[in-house]
Amino acid sequence: MDIIGIAGVLRARAALRAHDQWMPDELLAHQSRSLAELRRFAVARSPLYAELHAALEDAPLSELPVLTKATLMERFDDLVTDRDVHLPDVERFLETATATSRFRDRYRVAATGGTTGRRGIFLADPTEWRTVLASYSRAYDWAGVAAGLTHRLRMAVVSSRNPTHQSSIVGATVASRLIPTLRLDATQPLDEIVRELNAFKPEALVGYASMVRALADEQLDGRLRIAPQGVMSASEVLTDATRQRLRTAFGVAPTNVYAATETAGIASECRHGRMHRYEDLVIAEIVDEANRPVPQGEYGTKLLVTVLFSRTQPLIRYEISDRVAAAPGVCPDGLPFGLLAGIEGREEEVLTLNGISVHPNVFHAALDRVPVSGWQVVEDGGQIRVLLAGLRDGFDPSTGEQAVRKALEGAGVVGVKAVAETVDAIPRTRLGKAPLVRREPAARPELVH
């Protein structure tokens, strides 16, 4: 990134810092004003929104129609507000794009992996992209490891180097003299990742939860020797066991970051360990299957996100299949933003066994404390495979198998076979993620992320 680009991001970040000082009524006024501007812009520039929101100009947000990924992609050309942008052209661009490429020398383009079916494609113009970068920078600010004109930050990102993945594009575009950045792919051999991190000596380490846990094990075993000021976990569930292991290995409390390709940052933890929502950037409605709001403390089945800064591809009540719960109360840090009690991302699945829905927490309770470097539960043709990697202290794999069986019985599931398998490493998707609970592709062909 050149100095002009850096200056733009720093200005956007400064604006977000000012928002951190708002009173609740200032935040509400900002949301109301920004939402009204977004709705007017979308209806005026997007044929799809002109159609969907016809005669709903005065309707509250909760009464507007929901936008699904299927509709977004099927009506892509009608949704985007640049009438010269067409989906076939964007898809051809993505075939040869690098992480620093811009469609028509203007738009950053990121694609989702397709966990819930067809991939989604999302464009951001320069103004929107500065806000995307500033939203991620907010997480570093709150963790106390932010970069600035007088402070260089050596950052290592261990996620995906797929040029269409947002983490890859973000890492490539922030790399500069101000933020020297090492980008590593989570699918690289672990010893290679360790060697490069030792040579680079990052001050900030960013990665999938499963990846930073594996690196914590390497640090505790003496092969990895780094001293990051901050460790950021994203894209996968950060368990209490992983959180404690990271703290032990690196001497700092990890920061959980909740983000999505469609929205950029949605929430992240402050220094008190509370997860604050980025309500000045994204309105996230936590709802049930019928799109009805759920009470605080209760997990919804999905989110409906409205991205207040989206203009190229307006997102109003866009459906994301993540399960999150809001939390009551305020935080001692004085931030005006609401809190989240927990996040259960789409990387973990609720399995249906013998007609009973089994929440991922059932498997967490059984396996989070077992002495292994990693685990994964796989539903395969109606039976459960328990994959265990890096067994420690003479641990007998059958103990993990028995723990899962007992947990399933406690959830009311009987007669389901559970088999433990030892593996050299937990299987990762093509983007390098290692979901803790999943189905085999044969059970759901769309499982690619």
133-176 confidence digits (pLDDT tens):
999 999 988 988 876 656 788 999 998 888 888 888 988 888 77
448 band by pLDDT with thresholds 50, 70 and 90: very low
445 band by pLDDT with thresholds 50, 70 and 90: very low
119 band by pLDDT with thresholds 50, 70 and 90: confident
| Of residues 130, 182, 143, 142, the one with CA closest to residue 159 | 182
- On whether residue 193 sits in a domain, the answer given is yes
Q: Is the pLDDT of residue 116 over 70?
A: no
Instruction: Note down the domain range covering 427.
Output: 351-439
Q: What is the pLDDT of residue 2?
A: 58
24 and 127 co-located in one domain = yes
264 and 402 co-located in one domain = no
CATH of the domain at 430: 3.30.300.30
43 and 163 co-located in one domain = yes
Domain count, the chain: 2
- On whether residue 449 sits in a domain, the answer given is no
**Contact present, 197 and 181 (Cβ < 8 Å):** no
Q: Is the pLDDT of residue 444 over 60?
A: no
- On whether residue 94 sits in a domain, the answer given is yes
| Of residues 98, 108, 112, the one with CA closest to residue 433 | 112
- On whether residue 337 sits in a domain, the answer given is no
Q: Across all residues in the chain, what is the average pLDDT?
A: 88
431 band by pLDDT with thresholds 50, 70 and 90: low
Q: Give the separation between CA 223 and CA 225, rounded to whole angstroms.
A: 6
47 and 196 co-located in one domain = yes
Domain end point (choices 225, 258, 274): 274
254 and 375 co-located in one domain = no
Q: Where does 32-141 show beta strands of DSSP type E?
A: 108-111, 121-124
- 9-58 pLDDT per residue, tens: 889 999 999 999 999 999 999 999 999 999 999 999 999 999 999 999 99
CB atoms within 10 A of CB 3: 11
- On whether residue 297 sits in a domain, the answer given is no
182 and 73 co-located in one domain = yes
- On whether residue 149 sits in a domain, the answer given is yes
Q: Is the pLDDT of residue 88 over 60?
A: yes
Q: What is the pLDDT of residue 426?
A: 86
264 and 391 co-located in one domain = no
Q: Give the separation between CA 102 and CA 55, rounded to whole angstroms.
A: 36
Domain end point (choices 241, 274, 307): 274
- On whether residue 305 sits in a domain, the answer given is no
Q: What is the pLDDT of residue 346?
A: 53
pTM listed for this prediction: 0.81
Q: What is the pLDDT of residue 348?
A: 57
CATH of the domain at 28: 3.40.50.12780
217 and 361 co-located in one domain = no
| Of residues 326, 331, 229, 328, the one with CA closest to residue 272 | 331
Domain end point (choices 220, 246, 274): 274
| Structure tokens, 236 | 């996968």
266 and 362 co-located in one domain = no
Q: Give the separation between CA 180 and CA 162, rounded to whole angstroms.
A: 20
